[in-house]
Amino acid sequence: MDILEQVHSQKVYFCTDEALANAQVQCLEVLYDFNQTRPSEYDKRQAIMKDLFATVGENCYIEPPLRANWGINTHIGNNVYANFNLTLVDDTHIYIGDSVMIGPNVTIATAGHPIDPDLRRDVAQFNIPVTIGNNVWLGAHVVVLPGVTIGENTVIGAGSIVTKDIPSNVVAVGNPCRVLRPITEHDKEYYYKNRRIHE
């Protein structure tokens, strides 16, 4: 198994391959260019995103600064918005669906390290894909951990640490993140606490 197969195998491997490190630097060079764009350079940002990511849909906006381990392992749908300081630990694939909203200071991580200190001393790592469904909202400071799938239309409350799969059509919060309640007809009438949408 070559190093790229190991990286995407979901098994433990050792991060000592020089060619892999050199390839990552090339990706980080593209990311650097994105983060140095001026606010008025919308078209330039769009062009760089097409070079940076595996796929990126139409009408996507990511506010710099953006951090990513690779970029090329992240797949972004249409109409995605990400606020400041999105961090993509995309050592393997991250799938972000259509119409996803990402608050400031969100981290989506596919990579982890074994608990055993001897393995960590030898730079052992594993990577498990993350999937964010269509029309999900990740609140500010959310962290999504390796292997997690978040179902469509779900809201993840600010500051949540998502350690396991979250179903579709729910509000989930906390550390670790748990389902608080389903999204219901009530949410069509009230946008925040007791504030009505149409008043």
Whether 113 is a known active-site residue: answer yes
Nearest CA-CA partner of 130 in 105, 99, 107: 107
Site of tokens 């999504």: 144
Q: Which residue(s) pair with 161 in the sheet?
A: 143
Annotated catalytic residue within 8, 75, 93, 113:
113
Residue 105 in tokens: 């200071």
Residue 127 in tokens: 């990577």
For the beta carbon of residue 89, count every other beta carbon within 10 angstroms: 23
E strand spans, 81-192: 81-82, 86-89, 94-96, 101-102, 107-109, 111-112, 124-127, 130-132, 137-138, 143-144, 149-150, 155-156, 161-162, 170-173, 178-182, 190-192
Report the catalytic residues: 113
